Structure formats: structure tokens, C-alpha cells
Amino acid sequence: MAAGLVVPFFRGPARLDRAGRALFARGLSDDAFADALRRAPAVFRVNVGRILAAAALAHAEGRRLALVEGWRANVIERPHGRPDRIVTGSWLSALILRLLARRGLVPRLRPVRVSVSRCTFDEVRAAASLRAEGELLGVTGTACPSAPRLARYLRPFAPAAALTPRAALARAGRVEPRVLAVLQATAMDPGETAAALAAEGAAWATHVLSELEARAVSPPIALEARLARRLRLDR
């Protein structure tokens, strides 16, 4: 196995609603799967795309795959009036990975899974701590984090790169049309994109303020990490 690490950066909190549970039905055709995916909540969809691309890239380059998001705020709706299940991002990522592997969209991989982070600042450091050597590759999308913002977090941990799902699949090489069809089904509509960009704008503002504070007073814990630990409480 090659050195380095591939990490899909989880966007949360995500929700797998009862309609989205249709994705897990056995015997679902590719067209029915893509249709069910398009109807799933936006945040869940974009995570499917990130995990799909990261797994394909990890396999193509023989690197380890890691899942590190630790905010226990992601909801899995359950039938028959049973209470919702609340899980970490890494737990939900592993579930999505198993689903994609069962459908033959990605190889069966054994990711490194830890649940230690609740913001991009922490997530990057958790990923870097798992990498012994080699390149650290982060796969992300439009927001939470965007690829340009993730690239800033990765700079202290070179060699490293932030890739969109499409860029990750392009780097992976030859990709089956059915994989590209699933990635297309994860795309956000204009309204969802606008909401994601608004959230990303607020995250950029927090990140810039955090960097300015770090240059001025060098706090032991970065401002954005402190805010995440105060505001992103487990459910």
C-alpha cells in the first residue's frame, strides 16, 4: 500500500430520512438508486459524493482511507415511531461506504475510523495525525468546507491537496459511467447551493478571524475550534 491518506471531509449535520432509507433496499436498479439519491436530503447527498470519490481515489492509488468526523449530531430516522438514531459523521460515512461497496460502486475498503473532530480545523489535524508519511488528500465540495478553504487548513501539512469529488475521480483514472451517474445524482439544486454558499461564507469569516487572533496572541486553542466545541454540542 502506498504512503499517504485520503479523507472525505464530512459535511454535517446530515439527516437520513425515511425516504432516503430506500437507498438501502436490496435489488434496487441503478436508475432507481440514482432517483432515490436525488430525493435524499442535500447534506446527505453531498457526503455520498465525497465518500464515493475518496474511496475510488484511495483504491486507485493504493492509499488508506480515513473517516475522522466526530460530531454526534447526524440523524437517522427510524420507522414505526422508534426514536431517531444520532451518530457521528465518521459512523455515517462508514455506513455510506458499505452501501456504495455493496452496490459495486467502490471496492470494499477497510477505512481507519476515529471520531475526534467537530470542525474542519480539528478534522485536518486528526487526519494529519493518522498519516505517517506521504500525501494527505482531502476530498470536499462546495461548502463545509469548500476546496479552497480546506486547502488553507492543509498548508501546514504538506504534501497535501484539497480535491473536489470530480477532481478526485479524474485523478483516480478510468471511472465507470454508473459511478459518474451516481456522482451527478448527488449534485445540489440552485437553492441548496445558495444555502451552502451562505454557510461557507460564515465559515470563511470565522476562519479569517481565527487566523488573525492566532497571529496576534497565539492562543492554545484556535478560535474556530473553541467556537465549534461550544456551539456544536453532541445531541
Share of the chain above pLDDT 90, in %: 84
Pairing state of beta strands 64-69 and 5-8? parallel
| Whole-number average pLDDT of the chain | 93
Say what the pLDDT of residue 1 is.
65
Cell matching residue 78: 427510524
pLDDT at 214 over 90: yes
Backbone dihedral region of 27: left (phi > 0), alpha (psi from -120 to 50 degrees) or beta? left
Q: What is the mean pLDDT of residues 52-76?
A: 95
Q: How far is residue 61 CA from its own chain's centroid?
A: 19
171 vs 150: CA distance, rounded Å? 18
Say what the pLDDT of residue 200 is.
96
- Give me the helix-helix angle, 120-130 and 190-217, nearest 10°: 80
Question: pLDDT of 82-137, one tens digit each?
Answer: 899 999 999 999 999 999 999 999 999 999 998 877 889 999 999 999 997 899 99
Q: What is the mean pLDDT of residues 2-30?
A: 91
Cell matching residue 115: 471520531
Cell matching residue 193: 447551493
Question: pLDDT of 126-162, one tens digit each?
Answer: 999 999 789 999 999 999 999 999 999 999 999 999 9
Q: How far is residue 213 CA from its own chain's centroid?
A: 27
Residue type, 121: F
Say what the pLDDT of residue 212 is.
96
Q: Residue 71 class from Cβ within 10 Å (0-12 exposed, 13-18 middle, 19+ buried)?
A: buried
Say what the pLDDT of residue 229 is.
87
